Amino acid sequence: MYFPIADVTVSPLLLALLGIVVGTMTGFFGVGGGFLITGGLLVLGVPTIYAVGTGLLMVMGTAITSTLRHRRLGNVDLRLAVLIVCGTIPGVFLGERVNSALEEAGISGPVVGAVYFVLLLSLGSLMVANWLRRLRYRPVRRDLGVLPRWFQGIRLGPSQLVIPGVRTVNLRPAFPNAGIAEMSAFVPMLTGLLIGFIAALLGAGGGFLLMPFLVYGLGIPPAVAIGTDLFQIIVTGTLGAFLYSLGGNVDPIIAIIMFAAASVGTQIGALATRFVNSQRILGLFGLTVLNAGIAVGIGQLARLVGSDSLALIGQLLLLGVSGLVALTIVALLVIAAVAQIRRGQRLARLREIRSAGRVAAGGD
């Protein structure tokens, strides 16, 4: 199918498949899926600037549906999310300007592809290594960790802000849903600034960086990190998509096809977080990010040498492995749901036996 805005021919079935995979992972991992969407569009041959702009539009849609689901599950710390967004907004403007300058210079494709490759490969490797280490040693108690203690203990700026005639604002608030007793408000704001810049530069929601930071850097439970991350992705995706659309660098038809397929997956992924062990969530996420980095690297190499065979390998790797991860998420959800149903049936039978016993004892 030919898409005139992006001036590219892509199979709509591949776009729909990518959308389903992204939707499932968005709800499950708490990322907008931008690292998969933009990376996938690059692998499918979409020009870089359109892959980035369309990826942000898609990120916005999937994040909204997933956030609503996680909000109902109680997995969003609104105070933390709002502070992150305060830093994200200026970061998005800065990232979009830098990417536009790179596009004018004719080097946007190589630069974005290289940054994607390095970030995804590094982050994925670290997460998989940490997951394997936890599986091996199986700590008996949950320790907050060095990084969370350090970040939560940072003293940035004053502890209070006095607004004459209004009120005194606490700049070291608590974040109850995230399980943080006290932390400087400037820590999530500066984090949002960096995430927003990278998100706008790469055409992602920034969730593939923020979610691991919330878990490993701030020590937030994975389920809450997922919901909080998705909330800020809505702002990142919306603002980024708007800025790129002003320059005509968004193909809405591609986004519509992918979003229609992703809408079902987001509900499945969000529901799965209630039943799946948090370490499995982090491990699968690490594998997904690592695979995406390798696929993007192969795709960039294929463009450099002009090899259709390498481009096909990159497509199969990205969609194939990501699809297997999505199927694994669905399988884990089904297994957990069946186990819960069986536990409910056993409890019901036990109650019936006890009730029958009491009736028999009363008759005697």
Global pTM exceeds 0.95: no
Burial 254-265 (b: 16+ CB within 10 A, else e): bbebbbebbbeb
Q: Where exactly are the structural domains of the chain? A: 2-146+187-333
Residue 140 has pLDDT above 50, yes or no: no
Is pLDDT larger for residue 311 or for residue 256?
A: 256
Mean pLDDT of 138-153: 68
Looking at the chain, the whole-number percentage of residues with pLDDT higher than 70 is: 90
- pLDDT value at residue 31: 63
- pLDDT value at residue 205: 59
- pLDDT value at residue 116: 77
Contacts of 358 (CB under 8 A, 6+ apart): none
Bridging pattern class, strands 2-3 and 167-170? unpaired
The string of pLDDT tens digits covering residues 158-189 is 777 777 766 777 888 889 888 888 899 899 99
Which candidate, 64, 31, 37, 92, places its Cα nearest to that of 225? 31
Q: Is 213 exposed, middle or buried (0-12, 13-18, 19+ CB in 10 A)?
A: buried
- pLDDT value at residue 199: 76
